[in-house]
Each structure stands twice: as C-alpha cells, then as structure tokens.
Amino acid sequence: MSVFNWMVMSRFPYCEEFTESLDMKKYANYGKCALTAFLGLMGISQVAQQSSVSADELSPIVAQIQVSEVEGSSGNANNLNRYAHVVVGTPNMSVGGNRADWSILQNGNELYTDDYLAFAFTADGFRTHTFNNSDYGIAAVYYNASGNKNKWWASSVRASDKDEEVPNNTNVFLLPQSSPLEKGMVLTAEQAAAQLKSFFAEGNFTPMDGVLLASPAITQTAGEKASFKYNPDYVITSTKDNANGTFRLEAVTNSGAGASGNYYTMNHVFIPHGTAGTVTGGVNFMNADSAYRAATYGGSGYTIDVLGTGQYKLTLDGYTPADGILMINGTHQGSSGDNVFSQSVSEDGKSFIIYSNDMQSGRVYTETSDRQHGAFNFAFIEYGATLEAPEKGFYRPGFDPGGRDVAGANLKLSNSSVPLDFESSADYFWVSSHNNADYYLISNGNGLNAGNAIVTPSQNDYRIVPQSVWNGTASTLYMSTVDQNGKEKDSSISVGYFSNSSDLWENGYLNASGELTKRTSGYDASVTVLGTGLRNLKIEGVDANTDGILLTIGRDNNNNHLISAAPQEDGSWNLSTFKAIDGAAVDKALDFVYLPYGGGDGGENGGWISGWIDSDDGSARSSFGYFDMEKIDVGVFELTLGDGLTADDGYLLLGLAGDETGENEEGLLSYEVTENGTLLINLFETGANGALADKDFMFAFFANDGSFQTQVPEPASVTLLVLGALGIFVLRNRRGSV
C-alpha cells in the first residue's frame, strides 16, 4: 500500500470500508475515495470533512497537512504538483504554494493575519523523498512573500546540514484574533516574556495553570522585521519562569545555541489547563538507577511511557491521534533545550509516539540518530475544539481545590540501587536521582535554585542516615544522604516543600559563622552565637514553647552532622549542631523552617497535625490537630492520626528538640509504617550503632490531598524539608519487630 493510500484510508472511513468489503452498498464510498486520491495525485488538496464556515463567525482552525510524493512524477522538485496533499481536520481546508511553502486556504481563500494568529508544528519529522534527503523538520509560519503581506503561509524546513524546504506532515493551528486566550504576534523572546508577565500579574492565572505554545513566525514588513529570511533554522523553547511570574522563551538554532535578533521571532499562546477540547501538560524525566522514567506536571487526562532514549508514548484519555493534532515545545531543562520533536502514531492507532532528537549542524540526520531525552510541554487540540478556557487558574493563592500549600513526597531507595519509587502530593514537584545518594529537586520541570531549601535528619528501618541540601552545578539544588562518617548512602526519605513566598511559615538560613539570611520576609529574627555549634534563634512575636515547631537541616554535601532545636524559657530556640558519629559540637551551615500551629492564623482556616513531644511518656508539650502519641518502648513512639487519616495519606517530617530544661537533645530519628497505618517513630543515640534512646522531638504530618492547607506555593523560590522516611512504598513493619 502506498503512503498516500494509507493516509487516505486512515482518515477517511469510507475508503477503509470499501477495501474491506465488496458490498454493492459501498460503491458510493468508492467514488468518494477515488475522487480524493485523484485530486491528491493532481497536487490538489482535498478536505477531510464537507461543511462550511460562516464568514462572519471565525472559529479556531485545527488541521494537519499530510504530504507525499506523487509516484512517477518528474520535473521541478519545487512544484506543488510533485506532491499529494490531504488536509485533515477543520472543513474546507487546502494548501497552495510549492513543495513545502504552503499558503493556508479555507474555501479556496487565504487567511488574513488580522483575523488569525497562526502556528505550525512538525508532525512526522522524518520523511524519505526523492527530491530531499530524509532529515528532521522544523515548522514555521510567515506572511506571504509577495503582494499583500498580511496572509498566513506555513513552511516545513530541513535544518541540520543546510536550510531548505523538506515536505513533512505538519500540524497547523490558527487562532482567531478575537479569542480571549492570551497570545502574541511575532514578538521577540524578551517581548513575549514581558507581555506574559503583565498577563499573569493580573492574578487570574499563574504559569503553573497551563502551557505556552510558541512557533517561529516571520514577518516581512520592514517596520516589523528588517531581517527576514526564508527557511528558519530555529525552534522555540518555552520554560516556566515562576521566579519572575512568566515564561522564559528562547530561539534555539540548529547549532544548539540560543539566538536573538531580528531573525528570531515567534507567535505564542497560553492555553490554560482545562480548556475545552484540549489535553495539556508538561513532561520531564527522572533518572532512576540509570534508567529514565517520565515525570508529568500540570494538566490531566494523559499518561507518558518511556520507550527508549528520546522516544515516548503519549496516551490521552478519550482521544486518539485521529481526533486532533499534537503540538510540542521543548523546555530548557538540562541538555534538552536544543532538541527538536516529531511524532508518529502507534501501531494500534491509540497513542502518539514522540521523538526527541538533539539538534546539531553540519550533517544529515536519520530517524534514529542523536536521540536524546528532552523535556517538553504539549497541547493536544481536537478537531472542532471551541477552546473555551476557564476564567481562573487552579494554582493561584487562596483557591487551589487541593489546598496544596505544602507539597511533599515519599521516596523508597535501597543502598545498592536507586529504584526511586516516588509519589508527590503536588504534580509540579518531584525528585530525580543524580548519583549514589544524591538527588536533585525539581518543580514544574525546572531544577530548583540553590540556596532555597532545607533538610532535617531522620531515617527509616534503623538505617541511621543523615541528610543535607547542597548547591550543585548550574545553581541546581541537590539533596544528599550519607552515613555517620560522611559516606554517601542511598536511603528512603520523605520530602516537604515550603515556599519562600508564603506567609504561613518562616524560613531562614544560617551560615557556619551564625549569620542569618531570612528566606521569607514576613518576620523579624535575630541570632546570637553562644559557642561552638550552638546558636540562639529568636523570632519576634513567637513563643517556641507554645506557638509552633522548628525543623532544621545541614547545608553541605556529604553532610554528617545534625541539628536539634530546643525551646528556651524566653520563647527562643537554641540550635545545636553536632556530628552524627559522636555528638561533638561543630560549626556548620543550616536551614530552618518555623511551622506555626494552625497554619499561622490559629487554625481558623485549618492547620497541620504537629507537635513537640515529651519522650518521658509521649505526651505533647504543645501541639495542633487530632492525633494520639503512645510510647511503646524506650525510643519508640507510635503516632495514630486523627480525622480518618493513615500513614498512606501523606508524609511525616521529624526534628530533634530539647527537654523541659532547655537542653538540646543529640541523636538520630527515623520512622516506619505499621500494618495498621500508624507510624512508629524511632530515636537513637549518635554513632553507627546507636541504641534506642528517649529524645524529645518535633513532628508534622502533611496530607497528600492538601488537607489543612489554605494557600498554594510559588515553586520559584522555596524551602524544602527532607527527612528519612519509609513512607508508603514499603511492606508494613510488624509491630513486634521493634
């Protein structure tokens, strides 16, 4: 079967029906199929559906240009009639022009830039042509090259060893200029980012609320663009820039370098999650035990499977590739910013197969060369979509239905490998393995900036492993787990995520000299150095004995020291920093987060189950929420959660405290999950084989569904709390084994 026949049959049911049966009733369908094929062989596009669009009511145009060579044709390779075109999707669409520069026509008429904003994305990017070598494709839109410069054309370009047209199946999307969706026309990356920042500043949406589509878009009016050239050699990346409340856009050339200037312009549109007729989302990849797994963030109604390096299967709930078009922009995460994306249809016709190839210049590519994992955002738009968008986003402060002010996760790791079982309470937050016992922290597909996180020590199953947070390359934030001697050691952990922009808690950093840097701005605090490894922290208006808990963590790679926070009579905390191996005092940098009982408002809008526990009998010296803490044995306490919660419903954060005299405790912590869904908290003396021991401690439990939270984090600038945890991924520990 020829490629052209396959394309026709896959999109026109009456053709397929005829080939499967000689029933005389199907002869009428044979006529339709024959007409389509004849027009395709003549180089004339045939529409996929027969209906008309009202001239006075513009609707989105969603279509795919399917192109193949006409068998046995000869002559000028640039002639349109050397190729057969089928335009699928919006009715009455066709193309004119030449081999891969297409005028976009509806009812035979070109489409005006005053009426529409146009986008083009490569569909299947590797096609074998007699007249062009197989190569990856870059798609773009531009104004007509002659006559009226106000009509949209689309172009499919070969852009590795040289810039020239190459006919590839191409997805085109034309959005009416009257659409309320936030959009921009032929702007530079800097202008687009500024326009989007103003849009998000209005407060109805944040960058987390949708995806940004952008494609090269080239004007030819001197006043708008003085340096026009055909065959653009660049793609657009669109990365969430939560720190600045916008997206970071970049034109990336086929040399893999970022570019700017008059050649590199673009059209863009922000599509909120939940827009009618769409499926939207973001995808990055976790490195787990030298294997990659997809980690999705934003949107819903889709799954991603990793088939191999740079090859993924996208399956949509309720849609197949025959129902619409898929548009993809890379995100500048790691080495993926210079990748080009293409797609095909799975053998069963139910999923998209997505390909990610590293862009390099100077040679021709094949379909399998230079595959590379590449993070991306995508939007699927069904044919006939109205694109009605929600009026408000979901991740803005005070409204998130999940109430996820605090994000968190549990990870299950082993000492010899990193299976990295992971479940996050927020779809924008996750962790990827960097190497043995080092993991980098990611929000909305972007590595978190260094200097904006904390971790506190606690471990599971008697594996006493301190943790820390440190600054990796390119300002990426890593967390590390080590044994008492500072040797890296994979271990299970739980992770809490606290935004530096929130006023529900207070975050800070102390360097090794005891100098304070406040991460959140809503409080006044002071630090006094009392001696080696001992600092006093006073937060104005806060009584450490009654108002909340303070959790701390070291800030070095291969960290082997711990911190305890002992409430003092005057309402301050003494922070003791000591070595995990022997308890010796040491001056080291640390982070802290103060969590007020009741979420900072006395519980009026909820709070978190949390408390300061007396190790003599398991009673609470101060606390918030419904729970029961029972002392089981020396150094072993069982936490039963109230409000119908069990250990499977969230993650537990732990920290050492001090006794009733204000003396700091020194030791290590862990927790385990029982068969009954309660949590066993274990406390140990310092040292590699530290015995169970009674130590006063603090804890906070956060539910995965966002219970007790009232405000959404801004993931640009955060504080993280990482504690050892067996979490929800392990076999239940028998109570009698403790």
User: Alpha-carbon distance 593 to 518, whole Å?
Assistant: 10
Q: Identify which of 239, 109, 118 has the alpha carbon closest to the alpha carbon of residue 171.
A: 118
Same-domain status, 417 and 556: yes
* Number of domains the chain contains: 2
Same-domain status, 355 and 461: no
Kindly report which listed range (143-147, 181-185, 309-313) carries the lowest average pLDDT score. Answer: 143-147
Tens digit of each residue's pLDDT (9 = 90 or more) over 229-281? 556 677 888 888 766 888 988 887 766 555 665 567 889 999 999 999 999 99
674 located within any domain: yes
User: Alpha-carbon distance 279 to 381, whole Å?
Assistant: 7
Whether the CB-CB separation of 725 and 652 falls below 8 Å is answered with: yes
Same-domain status, 479 and 344: no
Q: Is the pLDDT of residue 737 over 60?
A: no
577 located within any domain: yes
Same-domain status, 514 and 640: yes
* pLDDT > 90: percent of the chain: 32
Whether the CB-CB separation of 100 and 200 falls below 8 Å is answered with: no
pLDDT score, position 672: 83
pLDDT score, position 72: 75
648 located within any domain: yes
Same-domain status, 604 and 651: yes
Among 234-243, 268-277, 284-293, 635-644, which range has the highest average pLDDT?
268-277
* pLDDT > 70: percent of the chain: 61
449 located within any domain: yes
Same-domain status, 422 and 537: yes
Same-domain status, 635 and 720: yes
pLDDT score, position 271: 97
Kindly report which listed range (96-105, 358-367, 648-657) carries the lowest average pLDDT score. Answer: 358-367
- Which residues, listed in sequence order, are joined to residue 212 by a DSSP beta bridge? 270
Same-domain status, 376 and 524: no
Confidence of residue 600 (pLDDT cuts 50, 70, 90): low
143 located within any domain: no
The full 3-state SS of 26-89, as one line of letters, equals HHHHHHHHHHHHHHHHCCCCEECCCCCCCCCCCCCEEEEEEEEECCCCCCCCCCHHHEEEEEEE
Within 10 angstroms of residue 558's Cβ, the number of other Cβ atoms is: 17
User: Alpha-carbon distance 88 to 400, whole Å?
Assistant: 38
pLDDT score, position 554: 76
pLDDT score, position 561: 75
Same-domain status, 663 and 565: yes
Whether the CB-CB separation of 536 and 527 falls below 8 Å is answered with: yes
Q: Is the pLDDT of residue 461 over 70?
A: no
Tens digit of each residue's pLDDT (9 = 90 or more) over 526-544? 999 999 999 999 999 999 9
Domain interval for residue 467? 407-730
Q: In what order do the strands lie in the sheet with 352-358?
A: 302-308, 311-316, 352-358, 339-345
Same-domain status, 441 and 370: no
pLDDT score, position 724: 38
pLDDT score, position 18: 32
166 located within any domain: no
200 located within any domain: no
Whether the CB-CB separation of 224 and 272 falls below 8 Å is answered with: no
Q: In what order do the strands lie in the sheet with 679-684?
A: 627-633, 636-641, 679-684, 668-673
Kindly report which listed range (202-211, 222-231, 549-558) carries the lowest average pLDDT score. Answer: 222-231
User: At 339, which helix (H) or strand (E)?
Assistant: strand 339-345
Q: Which residues contact 668 (CB under 8 A, 6 or more apart)?
A: 457, 458, 459, 464, 466, 562, 580, 683, 684, 685, 686, 690
pLDDT score, position 489: 44
pLDDT score, position 732: 30
Confidence of residue 474 (pLDDT cuts 50, 70, 90): very low
pTM of the model: 0.68
Tens digit of each residue's pLDDT (9 = 90 or more) over 695-715? 999 999 887 765 654 333 333
Structure tokens at 226: 């003085």
Q: Is the pLDDT of residue 652 over 70?
A: yes
Confidence of residue 479 (pLDDT cuts 50, 70, 90): very low
Taking all residues of the chain, what is their mean pLDDT, rounded to a whole number?
A: 73
Same-domain status, 466 and 532: yes
Q: Is the pLDDT of residue 166 over 90?
A: no
User: Alpha-carbon distance 283 to 333, whole Å?
Assistant: 10
626 located within any domain: yes
Same-domain status, 361 and 414: no
Whether the CB-CB separation of 705 and 439 falls below 8 Å is answered with: no
